[in-house]
Amino acid sequence: MENRKLSRFNSLYWNPGSESIDSFTCNWHEENNWLAPPVTLAAKVINHLVKCRAVGTLIVPKWSSSPFWPLLFEEGLHYKPYVEDVIEFFEANRIFVAGHNIPVAIAVSFEAAFYGIKWAHHIAGVKNPCDSDFVRSILDASKRMLSRPIQKKTPVDPDIMKKLFNFYNKKSRSLKDLRLLCMCDLAYTGFFRYNELYMSSLDIYIQNLHDQQCIFQIPKNEVKEIERFVIHIVKKFIPTTIKALNPNFTVLEVVNAGSYFEHTKVKNPDEFDFMVVVRELSTPVSVQIQKGCIPGYANVKLRQKGRWHSSGMEYTPEKEFEISILSFNAYLRQAVSLVPVQKGRYGTLTYQDVAVRGKPYSVFSHVQTANFIWKRKICKTGEEMLYQRSDVTKKTDNDNLKICVDMMTCCHFPADIFSEILPSSSLSNPSLINNGCHIVLKPCNTSSCNDKETPCRLISYTKSEVEKMANLDENWKVIYKCTKLLFSYVEYSGIDSYKLKSTVLHLSARYGHTELGRGLIFVLKSLQISSSKGLLGCYFNSTLNIWSISLSYRYFTKWQIILLFKIFRVFEKIPAEESQHLLLSKIINQWICCTCRHSIEVSQIRSNIFDENSLATFNVQGNIFLEIVYELEPTLKAQKPLKWIPLQMKCHVFIDVCKVLISKLLQKTFILIPGFLRFSKK
C-alpha cells in the first residue's frame, strides 16, 4: 500500500503486504497498536482495544458529541481508567489530510441497514435490537457526514447599513419601506450592541497589552502538565504523607486559591496557591471563635489543651491554637521535602527546597512555600510545534522554570458560626453560605493586639473569591490582568493584586459588562478615591478595610494613580487609530521606565530612613514624583489633548503640600497654646 504508515498493517480488503483482513478478527494483545480509524468505527476500536487488554495510540478528532467520546472521558473531562494520557494537536491541518473516502455511501448504507432491521423486526413482531440511544447516536453521526459545510453569512457592518439608508432615501419610499428600515436600524443598534463596535484607542491598547504580555509564554500542554503534577503533590501526596508522619493530623480539604485558579495569572504559571484545611481544627468542639479587636478578624481559642505538644508547659487557649498550626506546618514542610521527582511528557518537576514567608517574617509564619524546578524537555527541531499553542509567539529563553507552591494552613467553618462577627450582608451572601469561611494564622497587627501574646486571626473568603473570579466577565478579567501587570512595575506603591481584585469585583457587580477602556477608567477612579480616603472594603465583608498603604509613600501612590487616570481618560475618548494606541503605548512605556529609575529612592522611604509623619518624608515623595512628571513633560506637551496634564499634576502636588503644611501648623499651634496660657497665668 502506498499510503501505509507502518511496515505492518491491516486492511479492510486484501492488499499486498497486509497481515490480515478485518483487524477486528485479530487479537491486539502484546502489540503496540497504531489506530487511526474512521470516525464511525472509533467506538468499535475502543471496545475491541479494551477487550483485548491491548496497548495502542488512538487518533480521533476532538468531538465531544460523538458516540465514542463517553468511552474516553467521564464527566468533567476525567480520563477513563484505561486511558493513560491525552495530547491535543492544535494544528490539525498538518495532521489530517483530505482523502478519497465517500462518506455519503457510508451514511446511506448505514441508514438503509438501520431501517431495514427495524422493518424486519416490526413485521416479525419482535423487539428491535436497534431501538437504543447508542445506535441512534451512531445514526445521527452518520447523517452529519452528509451535511454540507457551514457557510457563514456576511456580518452586518456600517457599510451595509449606509447602503440601506441610501437605497430608501428617495421620494418614492413608502411607509412599509420606512418600517423595514427602522426595524433594521433598531436590530443593529440594540441586538448587535452598536456601542461594542466602537473601540477607542485605549480599548485597542488594553487588548494588545493583554494579548502580548499577559498570556502564558510556554505551550498550553506544558502548563497543563505542570498543573497536574502540582495538584497531585498538594492534594494527594502531601496529605497521605502527613497522615503517615503523625496520625493526629488529617487534611480535610485542599482549596485552590490564587490567580492561576482564578484564570487571571499573567506571563508564566510560576506560582500556585493552596489553602490546606486541618480536619482536627475545623469543628466547634475543638475550637472556640469570638469577635476580634477589628472587623474581619476573630479571636480563636483551642479547647483541647496540651494535645499538640509534649513540653508540659501551660499556654493560653489562644497560644494553643497557634502552636497547633505551627506543629502542622512542621509536618507539612517535612512532607514537602519527601516529594519525589515528577517526570512527564514535556518536562520534569524536581523539588528544590521549602521556605517560610508571611508576617512576621520568621520560621513561625503562616505561609509555607515549596520551590520546584521545572526542566523542559529538549525536543528536536519541529517536534515542539506539534503540541504548541497556536497563539504563543514568544518562547522562554531558559529551559528551567522556577515553580513556587504556596500553602497556607487554616481551619474551615460554615458561615453561620461567624454570626456575631460578620455583618448581615456577608452572612446572607449565597457564595459564603455554600463555601463557608477559613481562619488563617495571619495576625491583625494592631497596637492593642501587638501588646498581647496572642493576636486576632484573619477570616479568609478564598473559596468564594476564586469562584467569583473564575466566573467573572471576560472584559473585567482582561482589565484586571492588565492593571495588575502595570502596577507590577511599581510594586512598592502598595497596590497589590488583592486590592485590585476587590476593586474589580465591586465595579463588575455595579456596572456589569463594560468596554475595556471604560472599565480601566472605573478601576483607576475607584483606586484614586480609596487612596484619598484610605478606605477600601473587602468584597465579601464591607466592614473590613483592606487599604493598608504605608504613610511613607501614600501620596506618591495617589499621584501615580491620578497621572495614569488622566492619561487613559484622554485616550478613552479618541477613536481607534493605529497611531494613537502606539502613542499611548510609548507614553506608558516611558512612564514605567521613569518610575523604575526612581525605585531606589522610593525604597529608601520604606526602609524607615525617614519618619513617616515628618515633612522630610512628604518632601521626598513630592520630589520623586515631580522628577517623573518633568521627564514625561516633553512627550505629553507634544500632544494637544495631553499638554495640560503636567500642569494639573503639579497643582495636585501643590494642593497636598498646602494640606500637609496646614495640618502641621495646627498641630504646633495646639501644642503652643497651652504653654502660652500657663505663661500668662504666671
Q: Is the pLDDT of residue 521 over 80?
A: yes
Domains of the chain: which residue ranges? 214-379+398-471, 553-670
CA–CA dist 326, 333 (Å, integer):
11
CA–CA dist 677, 653 (Å, integer):
36
- Whether 462 contacts 257, CB under 8 Å: yes
- The residue that leads in pLDDT, 295 or 363, is 295
Provide the pLDDT confidence category of residue 449 given band limits of 50, 70 and 90.
low
Tell me what percent of the residues of the chain surpass a pLDDT of 70. 78
Q: Is the pLDDT of residue 405 over 90?
A: yes
Provide the pLDDT confidence category of residue 151 given band limits of 50, 70 and 90.
low
**Which H or E element spans position 404?**
strand 400-413
Q: Is the pLDDT of residue 148 over 60?
A: no
Q: What is the pLDDT of residue 523?
A: 92
Average pLDDT over residues 307-335: 81
**pLDDT tens, position by position, 411-432:** 999 988 988 888 888 888 899 9
550: helix, strand or coil? coil
CA–CA dist 217, 588 (Å, integer):
22
Phi-psi region of 203 (alpha: psi -120 to 50; beta: other; left: phi over 0): alpha
Least confidently predicted of 101-105, 130-134, 595-599: 101-105
CA–CA dist 660, 555 (Å, integer):
11
CA–CA dist 42, 65 (Å, integer):
13
Provide the pLDDT confidence category of residue 346 given band limits of 50, 70 and 90.
confident
283: helix, strand or coil? coil
Average pLDDT over residues 529-546: 87
In the Cβ-directed half-sphere of 488, how many Cα atoms lie within 13 Å?
Answer: 12
CA–CA dist 40, 46 (Å, integer):
12
Q: What is the pTM of this model?
A: 0.68
**pLDDT tens, position by position, 250-291:** 999 999 998 999 888 888 888 999 999 999 888 888 888 888
Q: Is the pLDDT of residue 389 over 60?
A: no
Q: What is the pLDDT of residue 385?
A: 36
Least confidently predicted of 470-479, 514-523, 551-560, 644-653: 551-560
Q: Is the pLDDT of residue 105 over 80?
A: no
What class, spelled out in words, does domain 214-379+398-471 have in CATH? alpha beta
Q: Is the pLDDT of residue 45 over 70?
A: yes
Q: What is the pLDDT of residue 1?
A: 45
CA–CA dist 265, 287 (Å, integer):
35
Q: Is the pLDDT of residue 51 over 70?
A: yes
- The identity of residue 623, as a single letter, is N
**What is the 8-class DSSP label of residue 385?**
G
User: How confident is the prediction for the chain on average, in pLDDT?
Assistant: 79
Q: What is the pLDDT of residue 492?
A: 59
Q: What is the pLDDT of residue 409?
A: 92
Provide the pLDDT confidence category of residue 338 given band limits of 50, 70 and 90.
very high
Is the previous residue joined to 646 through a cis bond, with omega within 30 degrees of 0? no
- Supply angle C-alpha 332, 335, 336, rounded to 5: 90
Average pLDDT over residues 20-29: 82
Provide the pLDDT confidence category of residue 390 given band limits of 50, 70 and 90.
very low
Q: What is the pLDDT of residue 96?
A: 54
